[in-house]
Amino acid sequence: MPKLAETVVHESVRLRETTIGRRCEVLADTRIEYSRLGDYSYLGEDCEVADAEIGKFVAVANRVRIGAPNHPMERPSQHRFTYCPEYYEAGAGRDLGFFADRRAARVVIGHDVWIGHGAIVLPGVTVGVGAVIAAGAVVSRDVAPYTVVGGVPARPIRARFPAAIAASLARIAWWDWPDQVLFARLAEFQRMPAEEFCRHYDPAMEVAP
């Protein structure tokens, strides 16, 4: 396992018009296009990511697909000959409007999200900060922050934390702390329950009766 002082991208990874942040790791046979990967995030093996904004400290397991492209179901045919006719007839023009619409239907993944093995996140979906997507889920609708979802289609299973703790973590925004602060406070991440962590770092944390 390499020491992640810098970003590590496996030699088999395919990138197209993608920005990768600091201290990231992208494992073998993953493909990323037209996307941005935030600092400290990692992608497992054999993932496909397209048209996505992925936040910081996001953990993506193997064989996840984010931004799987849709076909034009409203057309008389949904086959690609309608938007990539040049594959079949020399001189036929590509449907640039179709691809512009596809690029615009971006997936947005918040910070500190965990996406389980084999999950699929469809175009245009926003996944809130701190959410969890269970293995094998198909996410077709937005996911609220700090919510665990699973199933096909994915539905809420439970909240990770009470609303006050979720709001406090959003105010703390530890994912924006400088590296030296983050690691100086590593023991608190390891040993403090979330509520105690919030009381320690958020003066505005509500006190339960």
Residues with a known catalytic role: 71
Q: What are residue 132's DSSP bridge partners? A: 114, 148
Phi, psi (degrees; rounded to nearest 5) at 25: -140, 130
One-letter amino acid at 128 equals G
Phi, psi (degrees; rounded to nearest 5) at 135: -55, 135
**CA dihedral (4, 6, 7, 12) positive or negative:** negative
One-letter amino acid at 83 equals Y
Structure tokens at 26: 């992208």
**CA angle at residue 145 from 144 to 148, to 5 degrees?**
75
Cis geometry, peptide bond prior to residue 153 (ω within 30 degrees of 0): yes
| Pairing mode, strands 138-139 and 147-150 | unpaired
Inter-residue contact 137 to 125 (CB < 8 Å): no
H or E element, residue 99? helix 96-104
